[in-house]
Structure 1
Amino acid sequence: MTALEVLDPGLLTLVEDLGRPGWAHVGVGRAGAADAAALRLANRLVANDEGAAGLEVLLGGLRVRAVGDVTVAIAGAPGPAWLDDRPVGRAAVLEIRSGTVLRLGPVTSGLRAYVAVRGGIDVPAVLGSRSTDQLAGVGPEPVRTGDVLAVGPAPRSWPVVDLAPLREPPSRVELPVVAGPHADWFEDVLAGLRAGEWHVTPATNRVAVRLTGPALTRTAAATGRELPSEGLVPGAVQVPPDGQPVVFGVDHPVTGGYPVVAVLRRYAHGRLAQVRPGDRVSFVRG
Protein backbone atom coordinates (compact mmCIF):
# COMPACT_ATOMS: atom_id res chain seq x y z
CA MET A 1 0.00 0.00 0.00
CA THR A 2 1.13 3.53 -0.78
CA ALA A 3 0.04 6.08 1.82
CA LEU A 4 0.86 9.14 3.90
CA GLU A 5 1.16 8.56 7.64
CA VAL A 6 0.20 11.66 9.60
CA LEU A 7 2.72 12.52 12.32
CA ASP A 8 1.29 15.99 13.05
CA PRO A 9 -1.71 17.60 11.31
CA GLY A 10 -0.74 21.11 12.42
CA LEU A 11 -3.54 23.47 13.42
CA LEU A 12 -6.06 22.05 10.94
CA THR A 13 -5.63 19.80 7.91
CA LEU A 14 -8.60 18.71 5.81
CA VAL A 15 -9.02 16.38 2.86
CA GLU A 16 -10.48 18.46 0.01
CA ASP A 17 -11.19 18.08 -3.69
CA LEU A 18 -13.22 20.45 -5.89
CA GLY A 19 -16.43 19.83 -3.97
CA ARG A 20 -19.87 18.27 -4.37
CA PRO A 21 -22.08 20.47 -6.57
CA GLY A 22 -25.76 19.72 -7.09
CA TRP A 23 -26.92 18.98 -3.53
CA ALA A 24 -28.04 22.39 -2.27
CA HIS A 25 -31.68 21.38 -2.68
CA VAL A 26 -31.20 18.87 0.17
CA GLY A 27 -29.21 21.29 2.33
CA VAL A 28 -25.66 20.24 1.39
CA GLY A 29 -23.34 22.85 -0.08
CA ARG A 30 -20.51 22.36 -2.53
CA ALA A 31 -17.58 22.75 -0.06
CA GLY A 32 -14.24 21.70 -1.61
CA ALA A 33 -10.86 23.42 -1.53
CA ALA A 34 -11.14 27.02 -0.35
CA ASP A 35 -8.43 28.02 -2.86
CA ALA A 36 -9.41 25.78 -5.75
CA ALA A 37 -6.77 27.25 -8.09
CA ALA A 38 -3.99 26.24 -5.68
CA LEU A 39 -5.28 22.65 -5.46
CA ARG A 40 -5.60 22.50 -9.25
CA LEU A 41 -2.01 23.67 -9.66
CA ALA A 42 -0.64 21.11 -7.20
CA ASN A 43 -2.62 18.35 -8.92
CA ARG A 44 -1.41 19.36 -12.38
CA LEU A 45 2.19 19.24 -11.20
CA VAL A 46 1.84 15.58 -10.20
CA ALA A 47 -0.26 14.75 -13.32
CA ASN A 48 -3.45 14.10 -11.37
CA ASP A 49 -6.89 15.03 -12.57
CA GLU A 50 -7.45 18.58 -11.29
CA GLY A 51 -10.25 17.35 -9.04
CA ALA A 52 -8.21 14.72 -7.19
CA ALA A 53 -8.37 14.96 -3.40
CA GLY A 54 -5.44 16.58 -1.63
CA LEU A 55 -4.68 18.11 1.76
CA GLU A 56 -5.66 21.66 2.73
CA VAL A 57 -3.28 22.80 5.49
CA LEU A 58 -4.19 25.81 7.63
CA LEU A 59 -1.11 27.98 8.41
CA GLY A 60 1.38 25.10 7.95
CA GLY A 61 2.71 22.69 10.54
CA LEU A 62 1.80 19.44 8.75
CA ARG A 63 4.19 16.46 9.07
CA VAL A 64 3.59 13.26 7.10
CA ARG A 65 5.74 10.18 6.48
CA ALA A 66 5.71 8.43 3.11
CA VAL A 67 4.63 4.80 3.20
CA GLY A 68 6.04 3.62 -0.09
CA ASP A 69 7.52 6.00 -2.68
CA VAL A 70 5.24 8.94 -3.50
CA THR A 71 5.30 12.06 -5.65
CA VAL A 72 3.88 15.26 -4.18
CA ALA A 73 3.58 18.98 -4.89
CA ILE A 74 2.80 21.91 -2.59
CA ALA A 75 0.92 25.04 -3.66
CA GLY A 76 -1.09 27.86 -2.11
CA ALA A 77 0.18 30.01 0.75
CA PRO A 78 4.00 30.28 0.64
CA GLY A 79 6.27 29.01 3.39
CA PRO A 80 9.22 26.70 4.01
CA ALA A 81 9.08 22.93 3.55
CA TRP A 82 11.51 20.08 4.17
CA LEU A 83 12.05 16.44 3.25
CA ASP A 84 13.58 15.19 6.49
CA ASP A 85 16.11 18.04 7.04
CA ARG A 86 16.51 19.04 3.37
CA PRO A 87 14.72 22.25 2.29
CA VAL A 88 12.52 21.85 -0.79
CA GLY A 89 10.58 24.27 -2.97
CA ARG A 90 6.92 25.01 -3.38
CA ALA A 91 5.07 24.56 -6.68
CA ALA A 92 7.57 21.87 -7.65
CA VAL A 93 7.46 18.11 -8.17
CA LEU A 94 8.90 16.33 -5.12
CA GLU A 95 9.87 12.65 -5.25
CA ILE A 96 9.67 11.19 -1.74
CA ARG A 97 11.21 7.87 -0.81
CA SER A 98 9.43 5.55 1.58
CA GLY A 99 10.10 6.53 5.20
CA THR A 100 10.94 10.17 4.37
CA VAL A 101 9.09 12.87 6.32
CA LEU A 102 7.56 15.86 4.55
CA ARG A 103 7.23 18.87 6.86
CA LEU A 104 5.55 22.20 6.17
CA GLY A 105 6.73 25.21 8.17
CA PRO A 106 4.52 28.18 9.07
CA VAL A 107 3.18 30.02 6.04
CA THR A 108 4.76 33.44 5.53
CA SER A 109 1.64 35.02 4.00
CA GLY A 110 -1.85 33.85 3.18
CA LEU A 111 -3.63 31.15 5.11
CA ARG A 112 -3.90 27.79 3.34
CA ALA A 113 -1.34 25.54 1.66
CA TYR A 114 -2.22 22.49 -0.45
CA VAL A 115 -0.44 19.15 -0.76
CA ALA A 116 -1.28 16.98 -3.76
CA VAL A 117 0.03 13.43 -4.00
CA ARG A 118 0.22 11.55 -7.30
CA GLY A 119 -2.84 9.28 -7.30
CA GLY A 120 -4.81 11.49 -4.91
CA ILE A 121 -5.88 10.93 -1.31
CA ASP A 122 -8.08 7.83 -1.48
CA VAL A 123 -10.70 8.27 1.25
CA PRO A 124 -14.33 7.18 0.76
CA ALA A 125 -16.42 9.61 -1.29
CA VAL A 126 -19.64 11.03 0.19
CA LEU A 127 -22.24 12.29 -2.31
CA GLY A 128 -19.62 12.06 -5.03
CA SER A 129 -16.86 14.02 -3.28
CA ARG A 130 -14.02 13.41 -0.83
CA SER A 131 -14.25 16.95 0.54
CA THR A 132 -14.77 17.87 4.17
CA ASP A 133 -17.68 20.29 4.69
CA GLN A 134 -17.22 21.66 8.20
CA LEU A 135 -20.59 23.39 8.37
CA ALA A 136 -22.69 20.46 7.18
CA GLY A 137 -20.52 17.79 8.85
CA VAL A 138 -20.25 15.88 5.57
CA GLY A 139 -17.16 14.08 4.30
CA PRO A 140 -14.04 12.85 6.09
CA GLU A 141 -13.14 14.02 9.57
CA PRO A 142 -10.27 16.50 9.94
CA VAL A 143 -6.91 14.76 9.66
CA ARG A 144 -5.52 13.50 12.99
CA THR A 145 -2.16 12.30 14.28
CA GLY A 146 -1.80 8.61 13.48
CA ASP A 147 -4.07 8.65 10.43
CA VAL A 148 -2.78 6.67 7.46
CA LEU A 149 -4.14 8.25 4.30
CA ALA A 150 -4.20 5.82 1.40
CA VAL A 151 -2.99 7.07 -1.98
CA GLY A 152 -4.93 6.09 -5.09
CA PRO A 153 -3.52 4.53 -8.27
CA ALA A 154 -1.04 6.75 -10.09
CA PRO A 155 -2.12 8.22 -13.44
CA ARG A 156 -0.57 6.67 -16.55
CA SER A 157 1.01 9.92 -17.70
CA TRP A 158 3.83 11.70 -15.91
CA PRO A 159 4.19 15.39 -15.06
CA VAL A 160 5.36 17.44 -18.02
CA VAL A 161 6.87 20.20 -15.85
CA ASP A 162 8.88 20.08 -12.66
CA LEU A 163 7.94 23.50 -11.24
CA ALA A 164 5.56 26.41 -11.83
CA PRO A 165 6.27 30.16 -11.70
CA LEU A 166 4.56 31.97 -8.84
CA ARG A 167 3.80 35.63 -8.23
CA GLU A 168 4.63 37.43 -5.01
CA PRO A 169 1.51 37.77 -2.84
CA PRO A 170 -0.05 41.27 -2.96
CA SER A 171 0.36 43.65 -0.02
CA ARG A 172 -3.37 44.37 -0.09
CA VAL A 173 -6.11 42.00 -1.21
CA GLU A 174 -8.63 43.38 -3.71
CA LEU A 175 -12.03 41.70 -3.92
CA PRO A 176 -13.91 42.44 -7.18
CA VAL A 177 -17.68 42.50 -6.65
CA VAL A 178 -20.88 43.13 -8.58
CA ALA A 179 -24.22 44.26 -7.19
CA GLY A 180 -26.25 41.68 -5.28
CA PRO A 181 -30.04 41.17 -5.21
CA HIS A 182 -30.55 43.48 -2.22
CA ALA A 183 -28.14 46.30 -3.08
CA ASP A 184 -31.08 48.73 -3.11
CA TRP A 185 -31.64 48.13 0.62
CA PHE A 186 -28.56 50.26 1.38
CA GLU A 187 -27.43 53.79 0.59
CA ASP A 188 -25.17 53.50 -2.50
CA VAL A 189 -23.77 50.27 -1.09
CA LEU A 190 -21.22 49.46 -3.81
CA ALA A 191 -19.63 52.88 -3.39
CA GLY A 192 -19.63 52.34 0.38
CA LEU A 193 -17.92 48.97 0.01
CA ARG A 194 -15.28 50.40 -2.35
CA ALA A 195 -14.62 53.46 -0.20
CA GLY A 196 -14.40 51.66 3.14
CA GLU A 197 -11.27 50.40 4.89
CA TRP A 198 -12.02 46.79 5.79
CA HIS A 199 -10.09 44.43 8.05
CA VAL A 200 -10.52 40.69 8.50
CA THR A 201 -11.73 39.74 11.99
CA PRO A 202 -10.65 36.66 14.00
CA ALA A 203 -14.20 35.26 13.52
CA THR A 204 -13.22 33.96 10.09
CA ASN A 205 -13.18 30.41 8.73
CA ARG A 206 -14.17 28.32 5.69
CA VAL A 207 -17.80 29.29 6.23
CA ALA A 208 -17.32 33.06 6.00
CA VAL A 209 -14.84 35.91 6.17
CA ARG A 210 -16.14 38.53 8.55
CA LEU A 211 -14.98 42.11 8.09
CA THR A 212 -14.94 45.22 10.22
CA GLY A 213 -15.04 48.82 9.01
CA PRO A 214 -17.50 51.68 8.55
CA ALA A 215 -21.04 50.37 9.10
CA LEU A 216 -23.16 50.16 5.97
CA THR A 217 -26.45 52.04 6.38
CA ARG A 218 -29.85 50.87 5.18
CA THR A 219 -32.19 53.13 3.28
CA ALA A 220 -35.17 54.54 5.17
CA ALA A 221 -37.49 52.20 3.25
CA ALA A 222 -35.47 49.11 4.25
CA THR A 223 -34.91 50.02 7.90
CA GLY A 224 -36.51 47.38 10.10
CA ARG A 225 -37.42 45.26 7.10
CA GLU A 226 -37.16 41.48 7.39
CA LEU A 227 -36.08 39.06 4.65
CA PRO A 228 -37.24 35.44 4.29
CA SER A 229 -34.41 32.94 3.96
CA GLU A 230 -33.08 32.73 0.41
CA GLY A 231 -30.42 30.68 -1.35
CA LEU A 232 -26.76 31.65 -0.93
CA VAL A 233 -23.75 31.20 -3.19
CA PRO A 234 -20.01 31.30 -2.44
CA GLY A 235 -18.82 34.90 -2.49
CA ALA A 236 -22.16 36.38 -1.40
CA VAL A 237 -21.61 39.59 0.61
CA GLN A 238 -24.26 39.65 3.31
CA VAL A 239 -24.87 42.55 5.72
CA PRO A 240 -26.33 41.71 9.15
CA PRO A 241 -27.94 44.36 11.40
CA ASP A 242 -24.58 45.68 12.67
CA GLY A 243 -23.72 46.87 9.13
CA GLN A 244 -20.46 44.89 8.95
CA PRO A 245 -20.15 42.79 5.75
CA VAL A 246 -19.72 39.03 5.77
CA VAL A 247 -18.32 37.32 2.66
CA PHE A 248 -19.31 33.67 2.40
CA GLY A 249 -16.74 30.97 1.62
CA VAL A 250 -16.85 27.39 0.39
CA ASP A 251 -18.59 25.92 3.46
CA HIS A 252 -21.35 28.56 3.41
CA PRO A 253 -24.91 27.74 4.50
CA VAL A 254 -27.21 27.04 1.57
CA THR A 255 -29.72 29.68 2.74
CA GLY A 256 -29.52 32.95 4.65
CA GLY A 257 -31.85 35.64 5.95
CA TYR A 258 -29.81 38.84 5.76
CA PRO A 259 -29.64 41.03 2.63
CA VAL A 260 -26.98 40.15 0.04
CA VAL A 261 -25.67 43.46 -1.28
CA ALA A 262 -22.88 42.21 -3.55
CA VAL A 263 -21.32 39.02 -4.93
CA LEU A 264 -17.61 38.32 -5.27
CA ARG A 265 -16.42 37.37 -8.75
CA ARG A 266 -15.71 33.64 -8.99
CA TYR A 267 -12.12 34.10 -10.17
CA ALA A 268 -11.32 35.88 -6.88
CA HIS A 269 -12.58 33.15 -4.52
CA GLY A 270 -9.00 31.94 -4.03
CA ARG A 271 -7.99 35.42 -2.84
CA LEU A 272 -10.71 35.29 -0.22
CA ALA A 273 -9.46 31.87 0.93
CA GLN A 274 -6.00 33.27 1.67
CA VAL A 275 -6.87 36.31 3.81
CA ARG A 276 -6.05 36.02 7.49
CA PRO A 277 -7.28 37.89 10.59
CA GLY A 278 -5.89 41.43 10.63
CA ASP A 279 -5.38 41.61 6.86
CA ARG A 280 -6.67 44.68 5.07
CA VAL A 281 -8.94 44.07 2.10
CA SER A 282 -10.62 46.42 -0.34
CA PHE A 283 -13.63 45.95 -2.59
CA VAL A 284 -13.25 46.99 -6.23
CA ARG A 285 -15.54 47.15 -9.23
CA GLY A 286 -16.09 43.67 -10.67
Structure 2
Amino acid sequence: MTTSSRPSRLTVEAPGASTLVQDLGRPGLAHLGVPASGALDRGALTLANRLVGNPDAAAALEIAMGGFRSRFAAETWFAVTGAWGDVRLDGRRIAPYTAARAAEGGVLELAPPERGIRSLLAVRGGIDVPAVLGSRSRDTLSGLGPDPVRAGDVLPIGAAPAASVPLLDHEAAFPPPSGTVTLSLLPGPRADWFTDAARRGLFDGAWRMSDQADRIGARLVGDVLARRVDGELASEATVPGSVQVAGDGRPTILLADRPVTGGYPVIAVVAAASLDRLAQVRPGQELRFRHA
Protein backbone atom coordinates (compact mmCIF):
# COMPACT_ATOMS: atom_id res chain seq x y z
CA MET A 1 0.00 0.00 0.00
CA THR A 2 1.25 3.48 -0.78
CA THR A 3 0.08 6.88 0.35
CA SER A 4 0.68 10.50 -0.57
CA SER A 5 4.10 11.91 0.33
CA ARG A 6 2.55 15.30 1.16
CA PRO A 7 3.52 16.32 4.71
CA SER A 8 0.63 16.62 7.16
CA ARG A 9 0.02 17.43 10.81
CA LEU A 10 -1.74 16.12 13.88
CA THR A 11 -3.69 18.38 16.23
CA VAL A 12 -3.86 17.15 19.82
CA GLU A 13 -7.20 17.99 21.38
CA ALA A 14 -6.67 16.11 24.67
CA PRO A 15 -3.24 14.76 25.72
CA GLY A 16 -4.47 12.61 28.64
CA ALA A 17 -2.31 12.23 31.73
CA SER A 18 0.98 12.44 29.83
CA THR A 19 1.88 12.41 26.15
CA LEU A 20 5.49 12.73 25.07
CA VAL A 21 7.33 12.57 21.77
CA GLN A 22 9.73 9.62 21.86
CA ASP A 23 12.00 7.77 19.46
CA LEU A 24 14.80 5.29 20.22
CA GLY A 25 16.69 7.93 22.18
CA ARG A 26 20.17 9.43 22.19
CA PRO A 27 22.59 6.65 23.24
CA GLY A 28 26.33 7.15 23.58
CA LEU A 29 26.23 10.43 25.51
CA ALA A 30 26.42 9.18 29.09
CA HIS A 31 29.98 10.53 29.37
CA LEU A 32 28.43 13.99 28.89
CA GLY A 33 25.84 13.34 31.57
CA VAL A 34 23.03 12.73 29.07
CA PRO A 35 20.96 9.54 29.44
CA ALA A 36 19.66 7.74 26.37
CA SER A 37 15.99 8.42 27.16
CA GLY A 38 13.70 7.21 24.34
CA ALA A 39 10.51 5.14 24.45
CA LEU A 40 10.25 2.96 27.55
CA ASP A 41 8.59 0.17 25.54
CA ARG A 42 11.04 0.07 22.65
CA GLY A 43 9.49 -3.03 21.12
CA ALA A 44 6.09 -1.32 20.94
CA LEU A 45 7.65 1.72 19.26
CA THR A 46 9.50 -0.38 16.71
CA LEU A 47 6.41 -2.44 15.90
CA ALA A 48 4.16 0.61 15.51
CA ASN A 49 6.66 2.15 13.11
CA ARG A 50 6.98 -1.03 11.06
CA LEU A 51 3.20 -1.31 10.76
CA VAL A 52 3.06 2.05 8.94
CA GLY A 53 6.27 1.57 6.93
CA ASN A 54 8.45 3.93 8.98
CA PRO A 55 12.08 3.37 9.96
CA ASP A 56 12.29 1.81 13.42
CA ALA A 57 13.66 5.01 14.97
CA ALA A 58 10.95 7.38 13.70
CA ALA A 59 9.47 9.58 16.43
CA ALA A 60 6.05 8.64 17.80
CA LEU A 61 3.83 9.60 20.74
CA GLU A 62 4.13 7.79 24.07
CA ILE A 63 0.72 8.13 25.75
CA ALA A 64 0.39 7.20 29.42
CA MET A 65 -3.00 5.98 30.71
CA GLY A 66 -5.05 6.98 27.67
CA GLY A 67 -7.50 9.85 27.69
CA PHE A 68 -5.98 10.99 24.39
CA ARG A 69 -7.79 12.60 21.44
CA SER A 70 -6.33 14.02 18.22
CA ARG A 71 -7.43 15.12 14.75
CA PHE A 72 -5.65 14.42 11.45
CA ALA A 73 -5.34 17.30 8.97
CA ALA A 74 -5.05 14.94 5.99
CA GLU A 75 -5.40 11.27 5.15
CA THR A 76 -2.86 9.49 7.37
CA TRP A 77 -1.84 5.93 8.17
CA PHE A 78 -1.27 5.25 11.88
CA ALA A 79 -0.84 2.36 14.34
CA VAL A 80 -1.28 2.03 18.11
CA THR A 81 0.72 -0.56 20.06
CA GLY A 82 1.90 -1.10 23.64
CA ALA A 83 -0.91 -0.85 26.19
CA TRP A 84 -4.13 -2.65 25.32
CA GLY A 85 -7.44 -0.84 25.37
CA ASP A 86 -10.23 0.84 23.44
CA VAL A 87 -9.01 2.70 20.31
CA ARG A 88 -11.56 4.57 18.22
CA LEU A 89 -11.36 6.34 14.87
CA ASP A 90 -14.31 8.64 14.21
CA GLY A 91 -16.21 6.82 16.94
CA ARG A 92 -15.62 3.34 15.47
CA ARG A 93 -13.60 0.86 17.47
CA ILE A 94 -10.44 -0.35 15.72
CA ALA A 95 -8.01 -3.03 16.80
CA PRO A 96 -4.68 -2.09 18.37
CA TYR A 97 -1.57 -3.50 16.73
CA THR A 98 -2.91 -2.84 13.21
CA ALA A 99 -2.27 -0.19 10.59
CA ALA A 100 -5.35 1.98 9.99
CA ARG A 101 -6.00 4.93 7.70
CA ALA A 102 -7.61 8.11 8.96
CA ALA A 103 -9.42 10.38 6.51
CA GLU A 104 -8.89 14.13 6.43
CA GLY A 105 -10.34 15.49 9.68
CA GLY A 106 -10.39 12.03 11.25
CA VAL A 107 -10.54 11.90 15.06
CA LEU A 108 -8.51 9.32 16.98
CA GLU A 109 -9.34 8.54 20.62
CA LEU A 110 -7.58 6.29 23.14
CA ALA A 111 -9.47 5.33 26.28
CA PRO A 112 -7.63 4.43 29.52
CA PRO A 113 -6.04 1.04 28.78
CA GLU A 114 -7.33 -2.24 30.17
CA ARG A 115 -3.80 -3.69 30.29
CA GLY A 116 -0.47 -1.94 30.46
CA ILE A 117 0.06 1.76 30.90
CA ARG A 118 1.85 3.24 27.86
CA SER A 119 0.51 3.31 24.29
CA LEU A 120 2.72 4.13 21.31
CA LEU A 121 1.07 6.02 18.45
CA ALA A 122 3.07 6.00 15.23
CA VAL A 123 2.00 7.98 12.15
CA ARG A 124 3.36 7.37 8.69
CA GLY A 125 6.22 9.85 8.22
CA GLY A 126 6.89 10.17 11.96
CA ILE A 127 6.38 13.12 14.30
CA ASP A 128 8.65 15.70 12.68
CA VAL A 129 9.66 17.96 15.58
CA PRO A 130 13.23 19.31 15.83
CA ALA A 131 15.87 16.88 17.08
CA VAL A 132 18.09 17.70 20.07
CA LEU A 133 21.46 15.91 20.26
CA GLY A 134 20.32 13.58 17.50
CA SER A 135 16.97 12.57 19.01
CA ARG A 136 13.39 13.81 19.18
CA SER A 137 12.84 12.16 22.56
CA ARG A 138 11.69 14.08 25.60
CA ASP A 139 13.98 13.54 28.59
CA THR A 140 11.83 14.30 31.63
CA LEU A 141 14.77 14.61 34.04
CA SER A 142 16.93 17.08 32.12
CA GLY A 143 14.21 18.73 30.04
CA LEU A 144 15.95 17.92 26.75
CA GLY A 145 13.81 17.46 23.67
CA PRO A 146 10.33 18.67 22.79
CA ASP A 147 8.00 19.90 25.52
CA PRO A 148 5.31 17.54 26.82
CA VAL A 149 2.34 17.57 24.46
CA ARG A 150 -0.50 19.90 25.48
CA ALA A 151 -4.06 20.38 24.29
CA GLY A 152 -4.05 22.47 21.12
CA ASP A 153 -0.54 21.49 20.03
CA VAL A 154 -0.18 20.97 16.28
CA LEU A 155 2.49 18.35 15.57
CA PRO A 156 4.05 18.19 12.11
CA ILE A 157 4.19 14.82 10.36
CA GLY A 158 7.14 14.08 8.09
CA ALA A 159 6.98 13.07 4.46
CA ALA A 160 5.99 9.47 3.87
CA PRO A 161 8.97 7.09 3.71
CA ALA A 162 9.86 5.13 0.57
CA ALA A 163 8.66 1.86 2.12
CA SER A 164 5.01 0.95 1.61
CA VAL A 165 2.56 0.20 4.41
CA PRO A 166 2.91 -3.59 4.83
CA LEU A 167 0.12 -5.70 3.35
CA LEU A 168 -1.02 -7.21 6.65
CA ASP A 169 -4.57 -7.65 7.86
CA HIS A 170 -3.25 -7.64 11.41
CA GLU A 171 -0.06 -8.11 13.39
CA ALA A 172 0.33 -10.75 16.08
CA ALA A 173 -0.59 -8.93 19.29
CA PHE A 174 0.75 -9.76 22.72
CA PRO A 175 -1.09 -7.51 25.19
CA PRO A 176 0.70 -6.69 28.45
CA PRO A 177 -0.22 -9.22 31.16
CA SER A 178 -2.91 -8.30 33.65
CA GLY A 179 -1.59 -10.53 36.44
CA THR A 180 1.87 -11.11 37.89
CA VAL A 181 4.73 -9.89 35.69
CA THR A 182 8.01 -11.81 35.80
CA LEU A 183 11.26 -9.99 35.02
CA SER A 184 14.75 -11.41 34.53
CA LEU A 185 17.57 -10.04 36.70
CA LEU A 186 21.33 -10.00 36.29
CA PRO A 187 23.67 -9.59 39.29
CA GLY A 188 24.36 -5.98 40.17
CA PRO A 189 27.82 -4.50 40.73
CA ARG A 190 27.13 -4.10 44.48
CA ALA A 191 25.25 -7.34 45.16
CA ASP A 192 27.94 -8.20 47.72
CA TRP A 193 26.87 -5.19 49.81
CA PHE A 194 23.70 -7.07 50.76
CA THR A 195 23.04 -10.00 53.08
CA ASP A 196 22.44 -13.49 51.74
CA ALA A 197 18.85 -13.21 52.97
CA ALA A 198 18.36 -9.98 50.99
CA ARG A 199 19.71 -11.52 47.79
CA ARG A 200 17.44 -14.54 48.21
CA GLY A 201 14.49 -12.34 49.14
CA LEU A 202 14.81 -10.38 45.93
CA PHE A 203 13.90 -13.54 44.01
CA ASP A 204 11.71 -15.33 46.57
CA GLY A 205 9.56 -12.38 47.61
CA ALA A 206 6.49 -10.88 46.02
CA TRP A 207 6.83 -7.25 44.93
CA ARG A 208 4.37 -4.65 43.78
CA MET A 209 4.77 -1.56 41.64
CA SER A 210 4.16 1.51 43.77
CA ASP A 211 2.44 4.67 42.60
CA GLN A 212 5.86 6.36 42.73
CA ALA A 213 6.79 5.41 39.19
CA ASP A 214 7.64 7.52 36.16
CA ARG A 215 10.15 7.55 33.32
CA ILE A 216 13.03 8.22 35.74
CA GLY A 217 12.47 5.29 38.08
CA ALA A 218 9.93 2.94 39.61
CA ARG A 219 9.84 2.34 43.36
CA LEU A 220 8.82 -1.14 44.49
CA VAL A 221 6.80 -2.22 47.53
CA GLY A 222 7.96 -5.37 49.33
CA ASP A 223 10.45 -6.63 51.88
CA VAL A 224 13.34 -4.54 53.17
CA LEU A 225 16.66 -5.55 51.58
CA ALA A 226 19.25 -5.48 54.37
CA ARG A 227 22.88 -4.53 53.76
CA ARG A 228 25.94 -6.26 55.04
CA VAL A 229 28.11 -3.24 54.17
CA ASP A 230 27.30 0.10 55.82
CA GLY A 231 28.52 3.52 54.83
CA GLU A 232 28.37 5.77 51.82
CA LEU A 233 28.98 4.76 48.22
CA ALA A 234 30.73 7.08 45.80
CA SER A 235 28.52 7.97 42.84
CA GLU A 236 28.97 5.47 40.01
CA ALA A 237 27.49 4.75 36.61
CA THR A 238 23.97 3.41 36.19
CA VAL A 239 22.25 1.67 33.29
CA PRO A 240 18.53 1.24 32.48
CA GLY A 241 17.12 -1.42 34.77
CA SER A 242 19.54 -0.79 37.66
CA VAL A 243 17.88 -1.87 40.92
CA GLN A 244 19.13 0.70 43.42
CA VAL A 245 18.45 0.23 47.11
CA ALA A 246 18.13 3.35 49.24
CA GLY A 247 19.08 3.62 52.90
CA ASP A 248 15.62 2.42 53.98
CA GLY A 249 16.17 -0.90 52.17
CA ARG A 250 13.53 -0.22 49.53
CA PRO A 251 14.46 -0.85 45.88
CA THR A 252 13.89 1.47 42.93
CA ILE A 253 14.38 0.40 39.31
CA LEU A 254 16.00 3.15 37.24
CA LEU A 255 14.52 3.71 33.78
CA ALA A 256 15.29 5.58 30.56
CA ASP A 257 15.38 9.12 31.99
CA ARG A 258 17.49 8.17 35.01
CA PRO A 259 20.58 10.10 36.10
CA VAL A 260 23.66 8.52 34.53
CA THR A 261 25.30 8.12 37.95
CA GLY A 262 23.88 7.24 41.34
CA GLY A 263 24.99 6.97 44.94
CA TYR A 264 22.94 3.98 46.12
CA PRO A 265 24.24 0.41 45.75
CA VAL A 266 22.81 -1.57 42.83
CA ILE A 267 21.87 -5.08 43.92
CA ALA A 268 20.73 -6.27 40.48
CA VAL A 269 19.95 -5.11 36.93
CA VAL A 270 16.79 -5.91 34.97
CA ALA A 271 17.84 -7.73 31.80
CA ALA A 272 17.38 -5.73 28.60
CA ALA A 273 14.89 -8.30 27.32
CA SER A 274 12.58 -7.53 30.28
CA LEU A 275 12.63 -3.73 30.09
CA ASP A 276 9.71 -3.46 27.64
CA ARG A 277 7.61 -5.65 29.95
CA LEU A 278 8.57 -3.47 32.91
CA ALA A 279 7.47 -0.35 31.00
CA GLN A 280 3.87 -1.62 31.00
CA VAL A 281 3.54 -2.57 34.70
CA ARG A 282 0.74 -0.65 36.39
CA PRO A 283 0.76 0.71 39.96
CA GLY A 284 -0.32 -2.06 42.32
CA GLN A 285 0.54 -4.86 39.88
CA GLU A 286 2.58 -7.76 41.26
CA LEU A 287 6.15 -8.40 40.16
CA ARG A 288 8.41 -11.39 40.57
CA PHE A 289 12.03 -11.80 39.62
CA ARG A 290 13.97 -14.71 38.18
CA HIS A 291 17.64 -15.22 37.39
CA ALA A 292 18.50 -14.26 33.82
SS at match of 1:111: strand
- State the 4+ residue runs in structure 1 displaced beyond 4 angstroms: none
Q: 1:283 aligns with which of 268, 281, 289?
A: 289
| Corresponding position of 2:209 | 200
Deviations 1:142-195 (A, max 9, x none): 001111100001011212224211134332111100111100000124322001
Taking only the aligned residue pairs, the percentage that are identical comes to: 48
Q: 2:180 aligns with which of 165, 172, 176?
A: 172
Deviations 1:80-127 (A, max 9, x none): 011111111100011011101000111001110000000000000000
C-alpha separation in 2, matches of 1:74 and 1:18: 17
| Corresponding position of 2:20 | 14
Question: Which letter maps to 1:194?
Answer: F
C-alpha separation in 2, matches of 1:207 and 1:129: 18
Aligned length in residues? 283
C-alpha separation in 2, matches of 1:151 and 1:167: 28
C-alpha separation in 2, matches of 1:208 and 1:168: 23
Question: Which letter maps to 1:197?
Answer: A
Task: Say if 2:44 is the partner of 1:38.
Answer: yes
Q: Is contact 2:82–2:175 with CA below 8 Å preserved after alignment?
A: no
C-alpha separation in 1, matches of 2:146 and 2:199: 39
Task: Say if 2:55 is the partner of 1:49.
Answer: yes
| Corresponding position of 1:181 | 189
The two structures have a TM-score, normalised by structure 1, of 0.97
SS at match of 2:159: coil
Question: Which letter maps to 1:148?
Answer: V
Task: Say if 2:263 is the partner of 1:254.
Answer: no
C-alpha separation in 1, matches of 2:13 and 2:289: 40
The two structures have a TM-score, normalised by structure 2, of 0.95
Q: 1:67 aligns with which of 52, 73, 80?
A: 73
C-alpha separation in 2, matches of 1:167 and 1:70: 25
Query: How well do the aligned residues superpose, as a CA RMSD in angstroms?
Result: 1.0
SS at match of 2:211: coil
Q: Which runs of 5+ in 1 are unaligned?
A: none
Q: Which runs of 5+ in 2 are unaligned?
A: 1-6
SS at match of 2:135: coil
